[in-house]
Structure 1
Amino acid sequence: MEILLLVATRDDSLRQFVGAQKNKTFPQEAFKRGFLAQRKVRQVVNAVDVREFTTSDDLEAFVEQRLGSADGLLLLIDQESAGLAKCIRSAALVCEIDVTRASRNYQNFLHDRLSKLAKTINYLARHFNDGSDAPLLSLPLRNFKCPALAGLQETIAADPCNSQIADSVDASLQRLRRRVRPRKKTSYKTKYAVDDKERFFVFGKEKHALPDSGAPHRRSCKLNSCFRFGCRIDDTRHFNVSEGEGDTTTISGEFTDCHGDKRSVAGGTHINMFSNDFF
């Protein structure tokens, strides 16, 4: 398993330290426990001057260029520049750093944050490799209306180094699992995650498309289609989204796409919707 760590900072000395450390940037014990212990984690570490980026798209282009075949995506970024990562906080684990607190002891400074990030991605990776939990954690964030998922998104985006992340994941998954059920008034046993608008979400078995790219889509649309909470997800899978109980259903309403535009749908049996909300 490959984990990509990007360090975006204006601190020249910190970038030099990261460049010199490379695969020793993480604490030695970071991936020797938990789910990732047996997965031979390979660390890929890049440091960049955050002043090279003037827009969110600039940062996203850099992330996309460095991704390769990475299974995990972590970003350390200066607090004053953290707004550049606003559109990918649900794709990567984004940790804001205050380099004034490093006091030139960069090893302790980094190890403190990276040990916490390693624990978080270790815990999340276990659930993203679970056949039941992975679809729940991959639900479209804009269109699956549920406080449990929205709350987890906010918690992880606010601070993925928070020591309570595991508890938040557990609590959110417990609430999400209670939403999984078959339709009423039908003989079919298919189980769906049902949101607050009584819309039914289930992974489609077919793989017949990918989320669109190119204008008006942004680089963040692509990144959010293949990563969630720092873990790679399958961007060839989509959810079938429908409304109503029984065997014959139609779906209508307004939905938000992967870059925030509102679109109306009327009369179809279902919508094909990817994890990044593209439909």
Structure 2
Amino acid sequence: MVFVTTDREFGQLVGLEKERILPQDANSKLTVTPPASFTVFSFIKSQADLPEDLTKFLVSSSLGHDGVMLMVEAGLEGFVSQNRDAAFTWFFESRKARLNPHNYLSAVLSRALRVYSAVIKRFEDMKSRQPMLLPMRNFLAGDLSRMRNSFHANPMPTDIVDTVDRCIKGLRATQSPKKSSTYNDVYYIDENDRYYQYGHEEHARPETSVPPHGYYCLLNSNFRFGVSYDAIRHFNVSEAKKNQLVKGSFYNCHDQATSPPKSALHMNMFPSDQIA
């Protein structure tokens, strides 16, 4: 859990107290199996800090962890926007947190952890994990956009868990085998009539060089909505007809338009939209 604030006094308090800043029952409110515990960090934003500085900090501090939760000072929505797909993000008022940290954070975290726990449980089930991992930039579907927008909202909608479940159901409804294939492989089909299959292969690896990638590419290659996932599994992307070459334009993990390789019958695309 990373507290992001411009309030130096509160940020220093978090840095000093660390896990002690949280309510005593914070770990128990994260109702996951096996039981989990938080490691607490503080990021005090200065005027010179850029969004990429925070993302670089998150990449390093998230190593060895199964999730990333951001507690963000209200007003810093733009500063954390590039991390919203990867990190579960909740907002707080730094002045109230500084004046009465334990009581205030107890109230704020009560709902936040309830929602975060529900998200983690969705990732434990492959039937809901797969649609939640569809590549955001390239899989064109209203339900995927609605799910993403719900996580990006401030405040999150009171019915966000129901919204996520409806979106998962809608995305699962797009699943179908290819009509032109004799195999029973099932694909998610987007509004461009492209077919996405979550593959079992582990022959590709996401690139980690910065540049050409940004630190948000690295973060998104490991986390979605605050939950870690298998970084070496990817989607196989193909067209509707058997032996049809993949055509068109795609956006990679750092928003650059790219074309599929020539003579490609499918593309390897990670949840982060990185194309291998």
**TM-score scaled to structure 1, two decimals?**
0.90
Q: Give 1:223 deviation, angstroms.
A: 0.3
Decide which of 61, 73, 78 is 1:78's aligned counterpart. Answer: 73
**2:158 and 2:221 mapped to 1: Cα distance?**
27
- CA pair 65-10 structure 1, distance change in 2 beyond 3 A: same
Decide which of 184, 187, 190 is 1:192's aligned counterpart. Answer: 187
- CA pair 34-66 structure 1, distance change in 2 beyond 3 A: closer
**1:163 and 1:191 mapped to 2: Cα distance?**
33
Give a deviation string over 1:95-148, Cα, whole Å, max 9, x none: 233323447122222222222221122111111111221111111000000010
Number of residue pairs matched by the alignment:
273
Which range moves more in the overlay, 220-229 or 109-118? 109-118
CA contact 1:30–1:119 (8 Å) conserved in 2: no
Partner of residue 170, structure 1: 165
- CA pair 261-228 structure 1, distance change in 2 beyond 3 A: same
Decide which of 202, 212, 221 is 1:207's aligned counterpart. Answer: 202
Q: Give 1:21 deviation, angstroms.
A: 4.2
Q: Give 1:34 deviation, angstroms.
A: 7.4
Give a deviation string over 1:49-82, Cα, whole Å, max 9, x none: 1117611111111111211211110112223333
Query: 2:141 matched to 1:141?
Result: no
Q: Give 1:160 deviation, angstroms.
A: 6.7
Q: Give 1:210 deviation, angstroms.
A: 1.6
- The residue type equivalent to 2:214 in the other structure is R
Q: Give 1:258 deviation, angstroms.
A: 0.4
Q: Give 1:209 deviation, angstroms.
A: 2.1
Matches within 5 A, 1:1-279: 5-32=1-28, 35-36=31-32, 38-51=33-46, 54-102=49-97, 104-159=99-154, 161-214=156-209, 215-245=211-241, 247-265=242-260, 266-279=262-275
Give a deviation string over 1:14-59, Cα, whole Å, max 9, x none: 23443454334444444436751x4121210012311176111111
Give a deviation string over 1:216-246, Cα, whole Å, max 9, x none: 210000101110000001110110000113x
Which structure is higher in strand share?
1
- The residue type equivalent to 2:5 in the other structure is T
In structure 1, the gaps of 5 or more residues are none
CA contact 2:30–2:116 (8 Å) conserved in 1: no
**1:103 and 1:219 mapped to 2: Cα distance?**
30
- CA pair 155-161 structure 1, distance change in 2 beyond 3 A: closer
- The residue type equivalent to 1:49 in the other structure is I
**1:161 and 1:113 mapped to 2: Cα distance?**
13
CA contact 2:50–2:79 (8 Å) conserved in 1: yes
- CA pair 148-207 structure 1, distance change in 2 beyond 3 A: same
CA contact 2:29–2:113 (8 Å) conserved in 1: no
- The residue type equivalent to 1:225 in the other structure is S
**1:137 and 1:35 mapped to 2: Cα distance?**
20
In structure 2, the gaps of 5 or more residues are none
- The residue type equivalent to 1:150 in the other structure is S
Which range moves more in the overlay, 269-278 or 124-133? 124-133
